[in-house]
């Protein structure tokens, strides 16, 4: 089966291209990033400069404000009036905002990153782990050739379920790609198409649950063992519900609005201050080039930092889109597919035969004579109880008596040794000349 994602490894980053053909950042080389510094990687795909055109437009706006603030004193005001301009008052305001803005913006960024991390590790990963666990359970309990169609159907349902989750997160109602691919049976499509985007993933989970329940009933799988698959299905549903909860519950609008106003106000006042300081320095008898350059750099760097962080928080709020920083779900889907392909017993036909040989080879090797004097089943034998009165041993239990005449092992059901009575020591596929085996005395 062809992978859903195409991986491209570059100098610093590893990109993934899904069905839409848009690049998403899968990973980056942290060692190389810290060694070369952030400036060298400014124009790498996924960097703060390339993730959104909004950052470039904001920096350009700040430069324009700085240029206008410098041009007005230079061309429209008297030089003496420019020199007496109270720039210190504006500098105190900018200094106050610069001390207050990083704290508020850092808190907002921390909340957003915590939310993003929970979406990835607690919600999405729980859902993907549940899918792998469901298929592993299916392969363990239904490994035979006659179960091949069942395993393939579960695999199809899992793949479609992940796709339906992504469509629900993106509010995409179209199912043209699923229909064109022919993943589902024509009888299954009408009910799924009529359902809403939020209900489709739950419907797929119900189909998986119902299919495996019917197979477990037909093959007489004990209900306590089927409870494991029930818990995994519920875990997958809880993971999807958590994703929906996070995506449909935003941070309070006034809080985000206040932070946005604070960042934009700080950038505007900073640009105006830099422009006026540039004009005052330019009219000095000896033009301080370093001061002029520092004002321009200040106007560029600070807005990049503040606006960049603000833009990042807007992108990672909903990481299920098509932006470069969004989750590469296609790569995660390929991981689940690889796990399912590796688990499928159809790709390992010798495993079933080998397991049968191992089970047939299980036996109990007699313990050494110096530690065990006798090993025999005792039927109705009496032993001394705690109160001094004879205690009647239960029939059918294995009694191991050591050299002192005391019971070394009492109460072991004979039911756990059904194969040992049928296997002669020293024979079988796992036997050896020295009497070794799965349960040899050397273990």
Please report which confidence band the pLDDT of residue 201 belongs to, taking 50, 70 and 90 as the band edges. very high
What is the reported pLDDT for 397? 38
Contact between residue 139 and residue 229 where contact means Cβ atoms under 8 Å apart: no
pLDDT band at 282 (very low <50, low <70, confident <90, very high): confident
pLDDT band for position 4 (50/70/90)? Answer: low
Instruction: Provide φ and ψ at 28, rounded to 5°.
Output: -145, 160
Run of H or E residues at 156: helix 148-169
pLDDT at position 266 over 80? yes
Alpha-carbon distance 57 to 51, whole Å?
13
The reported pTM is 0.74
CB atoms within 10 A of CB 420: 14
Residues 316-327: tens digit of each pLDDT:
999 998 889 999
Q: What is the pLDDT of residues 146-194, one digit of tens each?
A: 999 999 999 999 999 999 999 999 999 988 888 888 888 888 888 898 9
Tens of pLDDT, residues 340-398: 988 887 766 666 677 777 777 775 455 555 544 444 444 444 444 444 444 444 444 33
List own/partner pairs for 369-372 with CB under 8 A and 24 or more apart: 370/403, 371/402, 371/403, 371/408, 372/400, 372/401, 372/402, 372/403, 372/408
Mean residue pLDDT across the chain: 80
Q: Per-residue pLDDT tens for 127-147?
A: 999 999 999 999 989 988 899
- Portion of the chain with pLDDT greater than 70, in percent: 79
Helix (H) or strand (E) holding 378: strand 374-378
Q: pLDDT tens for residues 106-123?
A: 899 999 999 999 999 999
Cα 94-99-105 angle, rounded to 5 deg:
110
Q: What is the pLDDT of residue 64?
A: 94
Residue 242: phi and psi, rounded to 5, are -65, -40
Mean pLDDT of 40-67: 90
Burial string for 176-186 (b: 16+ CB within 10 Å, else e) reads eebeeeeebee
Helix-helix angle 87-118:223-247, to 10 degrees = 160
DSSP 163-203: HHHHHHHTT----HHHHHHT-S-TTTHHHHHHS-TTTHHHH
* Number of residues written out for the chain: 443
Q: How do residues 68-105 score in pLDDT, each as one tens digit?
A: 999 988 888 888 887 778 788 888 888 888 888 888 99
Q: Which of 89-98, 99-108, 301-310, 429-438 has the lowest mean pLDDT?
A: 429-438
Average pLDDT over residues 7-22: 88
Nearest to 112 by CA among 301, 314, 406, 258: 314
**Phi, psi values for residue 389, rounded to 5°:** -90, 150
CB contact at 8 A, 312 and 50: no
CA dist., res. 154 & res. 188, Å (int): 14
Q: Can you name the residues that pair with 400 across neighbouring β-strands?
A: 375, 409
């Amino acid at each position: 089966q062809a992978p859903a994602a195409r991986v491209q490894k570059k100098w610093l980053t590893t990109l993934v291209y899904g069905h839409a053909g848009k690049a998403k950042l899968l990973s980056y080389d942290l060692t190389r990033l810290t060694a070369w510094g952030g400036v060298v990687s400014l124009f790498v795909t996924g960097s703060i400069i390339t993730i959104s055109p909004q950052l470039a437009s904001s920096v350009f706006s700040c430069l324009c404000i700085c240029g206008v603030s410098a041009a007005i004193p230079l061309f429209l005001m008297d030089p003496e009036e420019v020199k007496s301009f109270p720039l210190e008052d504006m500098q105190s305001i900018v200094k106050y905002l610069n001390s207050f803005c990083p704290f508020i913006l850092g808190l907002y960024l921390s909340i957003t990153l915590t939310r993003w991390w929970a979406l990835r590790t607690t919600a999405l990963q729980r859902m993907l782990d549940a899918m792998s666990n469901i298929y592993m359970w299916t392969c363990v309990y239904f490994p035979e050739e006659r179960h091949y169609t069942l395993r393939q159907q579960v695999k199809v349902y899992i793949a479609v379920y992940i796709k339906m989750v992504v469509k629900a997160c993106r509010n995409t109602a179209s199912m043209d790609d699923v229909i064109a691919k022919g993943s589902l049976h024509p009888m299954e499509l009408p009910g799924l198409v009529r359902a809403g985007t939020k209900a489709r993933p739950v419907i797929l989970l119900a189909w998986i649950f119902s299919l495996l329940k019917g197979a477990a009933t037909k093959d007489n799988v004990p209900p306590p063992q089927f409870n494991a698959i029930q818990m995994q299905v519920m875990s997958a549903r809880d993971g999807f519900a958590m994703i929906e909860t996070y995506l449909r519950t935003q941070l309070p609008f006034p809080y985000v609005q206040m932070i946005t106003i604070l960042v934009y106000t700080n950038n505007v006042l900073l640009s105006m201050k830099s422009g006026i300081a540039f004009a005052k320095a330019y009219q000095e008898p000896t033009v301080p080039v370093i001061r002029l350059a520092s004002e321009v750099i200040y106007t560029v760097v600070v807005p990049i930092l503040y606006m960049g962080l603000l833009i990042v928080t807007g992108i990672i709020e909903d990481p299920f889109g098509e932006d470069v920083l969004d989750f590469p779900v296609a790569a995660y889907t390929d991981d689940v597919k690889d796990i399912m392909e590796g688990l499928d017993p159809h790709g390992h036909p010798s495993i079933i035969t080998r397991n049968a040989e191992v089970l047939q080879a299980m036996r109990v090797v007699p313990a050494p004579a110096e530690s065990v004097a006798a090993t025999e089943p005792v039927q109705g034998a009496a032993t001394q109880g705690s109160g001094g009165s004879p205690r009647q041993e239960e029939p059918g239990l294995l009694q191991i008596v050591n050299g002192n005449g005391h019971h070394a092992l009492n109460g072991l059901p004979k039911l756990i040794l059904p194969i040992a009575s049928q296997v002669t020591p020293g024979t079988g596929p796992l036997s050896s000349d020295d009497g070794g085996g799965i349960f040899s005395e050397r273990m």
